[in-house]
Amino acid sequence: MSTDASHLSTPATDQTGAVVVAVNQEPVGSGIRLPVEQISLEELARRQADATTPPLPGNVDVLQAMITELRQALDGQRQRVAELEQAMDALLRRLQRTPRDAWPADQMALFPEAQADEPEPMPTEPNLAPTEAAEPGPSKTNKKKGHGRRSLEELLKSLPLQRREHPLTEAERTCPCCGRPRRKIGEQTSQQLEYIPARLVCVQHAQFTYSCPHCPEHIVTAPKPPQPIDRGLAGPGLCALVTANKFDDYLPLYRQELILTRAGLFLARSTLCDWLMALGTLVRPLVERMKHDIFRSRVVQTDGTRIEVVLEGQRETKTGYFWPYLGDDTHPYVVVDFSLDKTKQHPQRFLADYTGYVQVDAYSAYDGCFIANADSSYPKIEVACWSHTERYFEAARDSDPARAAEGLGFIRALFAVEARAKREHLAESEVLALRQREAVPILDDFKPWLERTRDQVLPKSPLADALRYALNQWQALRRYTEAGFLSADNNATERINKLIARGRVNWLFVGSPRGGETAARLLSLVVTCRRLHMDSFLYLRDVFTRLPGLPADRLDELLPDHWLASHPEARHPPERQGRGHADPRPRRRSRP
Q: What residues contact 369, with CB distance under 8 A and at least 6 apart? A: 344, 347, 348, 351, 358, 380, 382
- What are the tens digits of pLDDT across the range 128-138? 444 444 444 44
List phi, psi (to 5°) of 588: -70, 125
List beta partners, residue 319: 308
- What are the tens digits of pLDDT across the range 89-138? 878 877 776 555 555 555 555 555 555 555 555 444 444 444 444 444 44
Q: CA-based angle 477:368:361, to the nearest 5?
A: 35
Contact 296, 334 (CB under 8 A): no
Q: Is this model's pTM higher than 0.95 or not?
A: no
320, containing H or E segment: strand 318-326
Coil, strand or helix at 539: helix
Count of Cβ atoms closer than 10 Å to residue 359 Cβ: 26
Instruction: Name the band, by pLDDT with cuts 50, 70 and 90, for residue 213.
Output: confident
Residues of the chain above pLDDT 90, percent? 50
Coil, strand or helix at 389: helix
DSSP track, 7-35: T-SS-EE-TTS-EEEESS-SPPPTT--EE
Instruction: Name the band, by pLDDT with cuts 50, 70 and 90, for residue 28.
Output: very low
- What are the tens digits of pLDDT across the range 394-439? 999 888 888 999 999 999 999 999 999 999 999 999 999 999 999 9
Pairwise CA distance, residues 434 & 431, whole Å: 5
List beta partners, residue 325: 302, 335
Q: How are the residues of the chain apportioned to helix, strand and coil, as percentages rounded to the nearest 5? A: 45, 10, 45
Dihedral in degrees, nearest 10, Cα atoms 541, 544, 546, 552: 140
Please name the amino acid found at residue 378: Y
211, containing H or E segment: strand 209-211
- What are the tens digits of pLDDT across the range 457-466? 998 999 999 9
Contact 338, 320 (CB under 8 A): yes
Q: What is the mean pLDDT of residues 213-225?
A: 86
Contact 416, 64 (CB under 8 A): no
Q: Taking Cα atoms as reference points, which of 84, 83, 76 lies closest to residue 592?
A: 76
Contact 19, 44 (CB under 8 A): yes
The highest-confidence range among 58-62, 146-150, 552-556, by mean pLDDT, is 552-556
Predicted local distance difference test score (pLDDT) of residue 38:
63
Predicted local distance difference test score (pLDDT) of residue 454:
92
Q: Taking Cα atoms as reference points, which of 297, 323, 307 lies closest to residue 380?
A: 297
Q: Taking Cα atoms as reference points, which of 115, 497, 102 lies closest to residue 304?
A: 497
Predicted local distance difference test score (pLDDT) of residue 99:
55
Pairwise CA distance, residues 449 & 63, whole Å: 13
Encode 75-123 in three state secondary structure. HHHHHHHHHHHHHHHHHHHHHHCCCCCCCCCCCCCCCHHHHHCCCCCCC
Alpha helices by DSSP H, listed for 213-350, are 236-247, 253-262, 269-282, 284-294, 345-350
Contact 308, 506 (CB under 8 A): no
